[in-house]
């Protein structure tokens, strides 16, 4: 009996050690790290807003037991990183759920059986560059997860955040500033068809500028040679885009239908309903506005009704400041 009594006392003490301290531990684990980075907010924000960029600075990607892939858009809201472990039968995901240019990003982390967490980034311009605050919030289940969070997760994540932001500073310190952009109001518009001349092009990202320049140059030469009248700014109609390869028509509207010549085709542009927005900024940043259009389409139960197209309002040769370039974006819907 004496031995049994001792065993019971030991078990009670162990249970007390396991159960009582977590009563005084916070139910929410909160971690925050703040550092001042040398680069400007738009440069730093871009490296966080595109999840694939994290591979260059986030310590989590150094874990060789992780196998990951990306889903959704490359950047901004909806961008998602999904992973599994080579040595464990589980995984998780991180999704950008809110993104405001150059000032804020929020992500949702799903650790499957381990629960969920939310992470935030705040980007504040300061004289020295950008003050970046990176935090993490998660609920700790009583009692085990409170012990795990306090003894294991919090110290590890704190170290990871410190080193991650230091890596981000080293990565961005010599990067050129990203031209700022804005996305205007999104609305449904009825588009009138127009006569036009088009040249089809297929290229990768590196050859995009040269392909467009050659195509529009050929069309303008044809217009001048045949005394035709332009009826609007140039545009591009996108048939294929996968981040690497692109296929599109370069189009210049004309006042009256006219014959083409060789690769220059006579066409009628799209007419009908389209969701529309005005993008202000560099051509490289238009993907942000396209992603906003796609999100609007899904939220309002529209379906694609044709090939999306861009209308280039600003002539880059007349306005060198890319942040002032205006591009009208249209996505036909039904």
pLDDT digits (tens, 9 = 90+) for 44-96: 999 999 999 999 999 988 888 889 999 988 889 999 999 998 877 788 999 99
Q: Are residues 209 and 139 in the same domain?
A: no
What is the overall mean pLDDT for the chain? 88
Does 227 fall in a domain? Answer: yes
In this model, does residue 131 exceed pLDDT 70? yes
Q: How confident is the model at residue 142 (pLDDT cuts 50, 70, 90)?
A: very low
Show the tokens assigned to 204: 């990768």
User: How much of the chain exceeds pLDDT 90, in percent?
Assistant: 67
Domain edge (last residue) among 172, 202, 224? 172
Does 297 fall in a domain? Answer: yes
Find out whether 77 and 298 touch, Cβ atoms under 8 Å. no
**What's the CA gap between 81 and 75, in Å, rounded?**
11
Residue that the structure tokens 């993008």 belong to: 279
Q: Are residues 133 and 50 in the same domain?
A: yes
Does 8 fall in a domain? Answer: no
In this model, does residue 147 exceed pLDDT 90? no
Strands 195-204 and 245-254: what pairing? Answer: antiparallel
Does 128 fall in a domain? Answer: yes
**What's the CA gap between 252 and 309, in Å, rounded?**
12
Beta bridge partners of 98: 106
CB neighbour list of residue 268: distance below 8 Å, 6 or more residues apart? 193, 194, 195, 196, 257
Confidence at residue 63, expressed as pLDDT on a 0 to 100 scale: 86
Q: Are residues 203 and 282 in the same domain?
A: yes
Task: List pLDDT tens digits, range 290-310.
Answer: 989 998 999 899 999 999 999
Show the tokens assigned to 56: 């260059």
Q: Are residues 129 and 94 in the same domain?
A: yes
In this model, does residue 3 exceed pLDDT 80? no
How many domains in the chain?
A: 2
Find out whether 304 and 270 touch, Cβ atoms under 8 Å. no
Domain edge (last residue) among 172, 200, 231? 172
Confidence at residue 213, expressed as pLDDT on a 0 to 100 scale: 94
**What's the CA gap between 9 and 114, in Å, rounded?**
32
Nearest to 122 by CA among 27, 15, 36, 228: 36
In this model, does residue 258 exceed pLDDT 80? yes
Q: Are residues 96 and 194 in the same domain?
A: no
Does 237 fall in a domain? Answer: yes
Show the tokens assigned to 235: 């545009």
**What's the CA gap between 164 and 186, in Å, rounded?**
36
Does 311 fall in a domain? Answer: yes
Find out whether 98 and 112 touch, Cβ atoms under 8 Å. no
Please report, for residues 102, 183, 302, the alpha-carbon distance to residue 306 in angstroms, rounded to integers and kept in the order given: 32, 22, 12
Q: What average pLDDT does this structure show over 278-286?
A: 92
Residue 47: strand, helix, or coil: helix
More confident residue, 244 or 182: 182
CATH code for position 56: 3.30.530.20
Q: What average pLDDT does this structure show over 9-27?
A: 48
Q: Are residues 202 and 311 in the same domain?
A: yes
Distance in angstroms between the alpha carbons of the first and the last residue of the chain: 81
In this model, does residue 120 exceed pLDDT 50? yes
In this model, does residue 128 exceed pLDDT 60? yes
Which 8-state DSSP code applies to residue 122? E
Residues in the chain: 334
Does 145 fall in a domain? Answer: yes
Show the tokens assigned to 98: 């809110």
Which 8-state DSSP code applies to residue 193? P
CATH code for position 261: 3.20.80.10
Radius of gyration of the chain (CA): 27
Confidence at residue 114, expressed as pLDDT on a 0 to 100 scale: 75
Nearest to 238 by CA among 198, 178, 281: 198
Show the tokens assigned to 218: 């050929």
Does 119 fall in a domain? Answer: yes
Which domain, by its residues, includes 138? 26-172
Longest dimension (CA), the chain: 111
Domain edge (last residue) among 172, 204, 235? 172
Find out whether 123 and 41 touch, Cβ atoms under 8 Å. yes
For residues 171-202, one letter each, b for 16 or more C-beta atoms within 10 angstroms of the residue's C-beta and e for the rest, the string is bbeeeeebbbbebeebeeeebeebbbbbbebe
């Amino acid at each position: 009996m004496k031995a049994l009594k001792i065993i019971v006392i030991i078990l009670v003490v162990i249970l007390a050690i396991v159960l009582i301290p977590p009563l005084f531990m916070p139910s929410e684990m909160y971690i925050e790290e703040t550092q001042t980075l040398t680069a400007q907010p738009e440069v730093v924000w871009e490296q966080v807003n595109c999840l694939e960029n994290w591979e260059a600075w986030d310590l989590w990607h150094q874990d060789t037991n992780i196998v990951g892939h990306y889903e959704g858009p490359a950047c901004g809201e909806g961008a998602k990183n999904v992973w599994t472990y080579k040595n464990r039968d589980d995984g998780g995901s991180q999704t950008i759920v809110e993104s405001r240019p150059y000032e804020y990003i929020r992500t949702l982390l799903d650790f499957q059986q381990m629960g969920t967490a939310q992470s935030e980034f705040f980007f504040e311009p300061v004289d020295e560059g950008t003050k970046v605050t990176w935090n993490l919030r998660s609920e700790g289940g009583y009692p085990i997860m409170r012990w795990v969070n306090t003894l294991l997760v919090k110290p590890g994540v704190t170290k990871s955040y410190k080193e991650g932001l230091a890596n981000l500073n080293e990565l961005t310190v010599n990067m050129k500033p990203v031209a700022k952009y804005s996305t205007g109001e999104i609305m449904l518009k009825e588009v009138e068809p127009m006569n036009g001349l088009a040249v089809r092009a297929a290229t990768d990202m590196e050859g995009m500028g040269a392909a467009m320049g050659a195509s529009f140059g050929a069309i303008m030469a044809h217009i001048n040679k045949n005394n035709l009248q332009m009826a609007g700014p140039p545009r591009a109609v996108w048939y294929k885009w996968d981040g690497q390869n692109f296929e599109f028509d370069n189009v210049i509207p004309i006042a009256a239908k006219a014959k083409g010549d060789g690769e220059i085709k006579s066409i009628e542009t799209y007419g009908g309903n389209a969701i529309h927005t005005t993008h202000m900024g560099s051509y490289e940043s238009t993907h942000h506005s396209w992603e906003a259009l796609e999100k609007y389409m899904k939220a309002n139960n529209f379906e694609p009704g044709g090939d999306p197209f861009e209308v280039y309002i600003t002539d880059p040769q007349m306005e060198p400041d890319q942040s002032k370039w205006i591009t009208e974006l249209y996505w036909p819907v039904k």
